[in-house]
Structures are given as C-alpha cells and as structure tokens.
Amino acid sequence: MKKQIAVLRGDGIGKEVTDAAIAVLETIGRRFDHEFEWKHGLIGGGAIDETGQPLPDETIQLCEQSDAILLGAVGGPKWDQNPSHLRPEKGLLQIRKHFELSVNLRPVKAYQSLLAVSPLKEDVAKDVDMVIVRELTGGLYFGEPSHHDDKNAVDTLLYSREEIERVVVHAFELAKQRRGKLNSVDKANVLESSKLWRKVVEDVAKRYPEVEYEHTIVDAAAMKLITYPSTFDVIVTENMFGDILSDEASVITGSLGMLPSASLRVDGFGLYEPVHGSAPDIAGQNIANPVGAILSAAMMLRSSFGLFEEADAIEAAVQKILEAGYCTSEFKNIGREVLSTTDMTEKIVNELEG
C-alpha cells in the first residue's frame, strides 16, 4: 500500500514525538511492505513566525492532497500574548473545522506494568479500558459571538441536532463493537444545549437496543471517572467537557504522554495526534514520552488505512517495551529504567523489527 501523509510537527515536544511516530511507521512500512510518503507542513507557533498565520493555506492544500494527517502539538509561551486569531492553538482549531473532524477518539488504557505510577490505587486503576468520544468541531470552541473587552466577555455554546447526532451515532457504533456500554456526559440540569444533546441521545439509542446507555452529569462524571474508572466503556460528550475529562482520565495510565487520539471526518479521513500539548517545560531535551504519538500512528493505520495487523503490531510492541520495565523521564524514581525519547523509540522500533 502507498500512502501520502501530511506531517505537521508543530511546536515544542510536538516535533520530537512526531519524529518518533515517523520512525515507527517507517519500520511498519519495511516490515509489511508499505510505502509512506511524508509531506511536511507548518502549523502553530512556527507557522506564525514564518508566514504570519497559524494555519497557512499551503498547509491546508498539503493536507487536502494527503491520505491522512499526523500532528505533534502546538503552542508555547512565545505566542501566549498574541491576539486570539494569531495564537498557535487557533491553527489547530482551524484545521479541525476545515476538515470537519467532528469525532475525536481518545482511548484510555491502563498498562499492568505502570499501575504502580498511577495516582490512583492499583486496584482502582487496573482494568481501565475506555474510549472518550469528544465532539470536536462545535460547542463553545466555535460558537459566535465570541469576544471580550475589559468589562465583558462572551462565548457561545451552540449545537445543532446534526452536529450532535453524527458524534453520538459514532459512539453507539463503537460501543456496539466493544463492551456495549455508553455513557453520555452533559449538563442537562443547567444547559439548554445539553437538553438537546440528551434528546438526540435518546433518539439514536432506539436504533441500538443492544447498547446499554446512561446519562451522567459532567461534574458527577469527573468524580466517577477517578472513583471507579474501569466501569466505563465508551463516553460521549461535547467539545469542552471532552477536553477536560480526557486530561483527567489520562493520568489513570500514569502520564498524559501516553494518550493517543484520532480526529475523524464522517468518511474516515483523519488527523492523528497525541492528547498532550507542546510541553514547553521539557521541550528540546529529548525526554518527552513518545508513546502517545506512536499509538496515534497505530490509530491512523487502523482507522484511515484499514491496516489492522500493522496497528496491532505497534500496540503490542509498545506494551512489550513498557512491560519490560522501560519508561520515560516523567516516571522517574519508580525503580524502572528511564530512557530518552529517541532511545524509547529505538526500543519500540527494534521490537517491531523482531
């Protein structure tokens, strides 16, 4: 199989972890006889510096000509005081909107070998295996009006039935293929948008009698997520709630650096990126955990290219290396061997090469 992949490394550790994902995909290409052609483009702070735009037209064109997008992360203190339309994060929001990447999958899985570093008790963290399905192109992030002055500020939380339905249908389909449990998270006791959200979930649920579903109010969901996380299978929620809950859930695995994500258009075209950001505090030191980015590459193979065996191989290699006792620097002082970003990547690559 031959595929063209747009590579947007972005800022900070985004560059380091994307290089790791490319190294792993190159290995998959050699082992399974696929050809990946990399087309690099600018996004975020680096793009602002070079072109004056967080998402230059050239990058959009490059992505349009590609079969999938691999992204690192954007942002950093250098651009934090920029006006909203010239912030690196705007580039990320624009690319999600431009390509209608409305369904964001964020799987959270506990690794037996890392249970000891979870801030939760081992007993609570073990067996965690859930997917957070986050609506990604609507809600507070995109509603108009949105502005502030010194006295007032406004953000708009707007959802149409169609926007809710497409992500909810995806979540029911996923739950059907998994353990058949769906949790829809909202704030229907207060928000009008959540009332519509709940109605749509009720309507879609009629088409999926085999899926057991439940509504949970977001504040209670935040509590339940760390009280008994292993009871969750699929969670579906709106944009902002999904952003917050996925960072919360990530620490069950011991580190935000472990979490991958896929942002999908309804026809399967996708952007793949780790859940974490550009981590300015550790950027440029070759110590970032590349696992979230590497597992995002596995999600790309599975979701966009249908390469199931190849995706499984990456996930198995990551698991093997973690179980062998290796980790990256955020896990220091737990008596395991700490590797740099590049050494961790090499271990996974060697494991894949067999």
Q: Which residues are catalytic?
A: 141, 187, 219, 243, 247
Three-state secondary-structure class, residue 81: coil
The answer to whether the CB of 8 falls within 8 A of the CB of 43 is yes
Contact positions vs ligand IPM (CB under 6 A): 75, 89, 92-93, 243, 275, 277
**How far is residue 126's CA from residue 108's CA, in Å, rounded to a whole number?**
12
Can residue 19 be called a binding residue for ligand NAD (CB under 6 A)?
Answer: no
Kindly state the number of chain residues that form the binding site for ligand NAD, as judged by CB under 6 A: 23
Residue 345 binds which entry of ligand NAD, ligand IPM, Mn ion, none, CB below 5-8 Å type-dependent = none
The answer to whether the CB of 257 falls within 8 A of the CB of 73 is no
Contact with Mn ion (CB under 5 A): which of 243, 273, 310, 351? Answer: 243
Can residue 288 be called a binding residue for ligand NAD (CB under 6 A)?
Answer: yes
In the complex, residue closest to ligand IPM by CB: 89
Contact with ligand NAD (CB under 6 A): which of 18, 237, 253, 278? Answer: 278
Can residue 239 be called a binding residue for ligand NAD (CB under 6 A)?
Answer: no
With left for phi above 0 and alpha for psi between -120 and 50, is residue 262 left, alpha or beta?
A: beta
Can residue 47 be called a binding residue for ligand NAD (CB under 6 A)?
Answer: no
In the numeric block, which tokens belong to residue 60?
Answer: 């959009």
The distance between the two most distant Cα atoms of the chain, rounded to a whole number of Å, is 62
**Which DSSP state fits 228?**
S
Minimum distance, C-beta of residue 351 to Mn ion, in the bound complex (Å): 29
Q: Which of residues 40-99 bind Mn ion (CB under 5 A)?
A: none
Q: By C-beta, is 10 or 56 nearer to Mn ion?
A: 10
Can residue 289 be called a binding residue for ligand NAD (CB under 6 A)?
Answer: yes
Return binding residues. 76-89, 96, 106, 134, 219, 243, 247, 277-289
Contact with ligand NAD (CB under 6 A): which of 281, 333, 335, 354? Answer: 281
Can residue 347 be called a binding residue for ligand NAD (CB under 6 A)?
Answer: no
Nearest Cα to Cα of residue 244 among 148, 139, 95: 139
Q: What is the tally of helices (H) and strands (E) in the chain?
A: 12, 14
Q: By C-beta, is 27 or 250 nearer to ligand IPM?
A: 250
Residue 200 binds which entry of ligand NAD, Mn ion, ligand IPM, none, CB below 5-8 Å type-dependent = none
Residues sharing a CB contact under 8 Å with residue 94, sequence separation 6 or more, in sequence order: 54, 55
Contact with ligand NAD (CB under 6 A): which of 23, 110, 279, 311? Answer: 279
Query: Do you know the residue count of the chain?
Result: 354
DSSP codes of every residue in 149-197: -SS-EEEE----HHHHHHHHHHHHHHHHHTTSEEEEEE-TTT-HHHHHH
Binding site for ligand NAD (CB under 6 A): 13, 17, 73-76, 89, 92, 255-257, 273, 276-282, 288-289, 292, 330
